[in-house]
Structure 1
């Protein structure tokens, strides 16, 4: 298995690491059946990719064998953020029948963390994700890894995340109060619940510690509104 050296551009502060540990712990306490977690957002600048990747790292640092899947086959920024090659075989190659599952999984320089990149951007990502082969891949990965964290395209822009959520055990919504309105967030939440009723909650991102959160009023599992840092997309 090829190993990717990941060059992270942003180093988390101790306070932010603790935030992710608490989110990780709360997910763990939702039950052992929640092993495949998909994260989505309403818009492109909610910080979803950073949150998803840092959450996967937190699980790995806790001794879990973790697979991170990048399913944004439209506009993924992960390869440029982590500085790994863009021409890797990935999810799109598998879904198009070009590669088998074992050929698209990469070990990383982070202990216990593995990665499936998007692969080449296809013209029909939604149709590829709706294939039975995607569900087959997720079922197999669930047997191989302790946790599978799936970073999906923003559900407020395309329907891909709803398709992916059907194959996941649970879903989480990442929201930035500076980017989306409460109404938009509510619509996306309902879409997620229609796809998979096991909606774990909201991670409020890019929230200043002293800001007011009443305009959202979320009472879900992760509606903590952490304002210790501002995770970018």
Structure 2
């Protein structure tokens, strides 16, 4: 089995934010003991969904849970820059298209209990691959072997892939960056995730300067969403 390592610069950031992601994992567990497969998405690119996916998966793994992190963003993978490998690795696209066995793309990591399936090659029709029986069968098979499966998806505000993936999961989380997304777009993304029929766990607000109190009383968003 190939082994991936988290890039050093990424690891330094991950350690700094470890406490926050541990708390997020606890909240996921408190939401239901049958929630094993979680999709992570955002409205737009660059809001931190991949960083959040990696950190949640790492936190579960470090807590002793056998965890799989799937890069479901086959259009524009960011996760490929997080994990490094010295060998060529097949990924999700190759398995779904039938050109490789999933076992060839399942990677160990330098973090105990954490495994990764990378996105693979760019597909000319990624939506069709995600809608295929192969994807559904893959998720159902992996459920038997892992305590938690975290799926990093494309931004739901850009392509439909995130909703398709979420239909095969148990729940979803929406990531948004402070001041970068209109509140109306966040609400629309939330509605899209809820329409999948799967549990919507909530919104994670990224890039918040905690040294500056812009929020005041509960319910006041300050500058959030004003553009």
Query: TM-score of the superposition, structure 2-length normalised?
Result: 0.90
Partners of 2:6 and 2:18 in 1: CA distance: 18
**1:114-155 CA distances to partner (integer Å, 9 max, x unpaired)?**
000011010101110000110110111111000000000000
Q: How does 1:1-233 map to 2 (within 5 A)?
A: 1-10=1-10, 11-12=12-13, 16-84=17-85, 87-209=88-210, 210-213=212-215, 217=219
Root-mean-square deviation (Å): 2.1
CA contact (8 A) 2:93 2:123 kept: yes
CA contact (8 A) 2:167 2:198 kept: no
SS at match of 1:73: coil
SS at match of 1:38: strand
CA contact (8 A) 1:68 1:151 kept: yes
Deviation at 1:112, TM superposition (A): 0.6
CA contact (8 A) 2:6 2:82 kept: no
How many residues in Structure 1 have an aligned counterpart in Structure 2?
218
CA contact (8 A) 1:43 1:179 kept: no
Gap runs ≥5 in structure 1: 219-224, 226-233
SS at match of 1:121: coil
CA contact (8 A) 1:72 1:153 kept: yes
Deviation at 1:197, TM superposition (A): 3.3
Query: TM-score of the superposition, structure 1-length normalised?
Result: 0.88
